[in-house]
Amino acid sequence: MTVSNDDELAGLKQIGRIVADTLEAMGKAIEPGMTTLELDGIGRRIMEGAGARPAPELVYAFPGATCISVNEEIAHGIPGARRINPGDLVNIDVSAEKDGYFADTGASFAVPPVTRAVERLCRDGRRAMWTGLRQVGTGKPLAEIGRAVGAFARKNGYTLVRNLASHGVGLSLHEEPTEIATWPDASERRIMQEGLVFTVEPFLSLGATFAEDGDDPWTLYSQPKALTVQYEHTVIASRNGPIILTMPGQ
């Protein structure tokens, strides 16, 4: 999607705020002993109360309102009977639609007590995302995002999962430009146009370089097995840099 008028911008800001507020509330609600299905229910109530429809269900018939992945699961985890325990690393990915507009956001949450390495991984996962976001702007190469995130990961001793990419969003959950690498990709030649809507979502890891399928049709696991975090914003490229749509309460 390329934003061309104020109505489109307003629609994107509205759904961006809804998913951001949902993610923030779910993160605050995490408690040891609760199931991932209970956590998902909190997100569903917030989105539906705001008049939005959970996008994974709507678009892909995913069995949940949000994706909740714990520890060895790194993406597309199905909410269910799994109980969250102290020391777990919980990733929540929230996307939704309202009035024809979509937005997508995500974050990883460490459930205390956790090691300093996990605290650092979460901190640096956010830093990696912001490193990528700072490369967003009209006329800039999409490849700069992956180059910058890759340099950050290398400098700080992390790996990046290289088969889970950022993507266009706005009028559907996944659209052009597809497969935006958050790692260095010498083949990337595309340029960000004014108003382009897409996600920035690096997967920073303590050793994994790949996401592999598990026993169900959805959940992805780290390969090699290693703790991995994901942080994600939906943005619009502008002449003044990124317009971030998925900040809570904006």
| Per-residue pLDDT at 167 exceeds 70 | yes
User: Does the pTM of the predicted model rise above 0.85?
Assistant: yes
Output the average pLDDT for the chain.
97
Rounded distance, CA 180 to CA 245, Å? 18
Interval 220-229 mean pLDDT: 97
pLDDT category, 250, cuts 50, 70, 90? low
Question: Widest CA span of the chain, in angstroms?
Answer: 48
Question: How does pLDDT run across 233-246, given as a tens digit for each residue?
Answer: 999 999 999 999 99
Of 13, 221, 160, 217, give the one whose Cα is nearest residue 101: 13
Enumerate the β-bridge partners of residue 95: 104
| Per-residue pLDDT at 219 exceeds 90 | yes
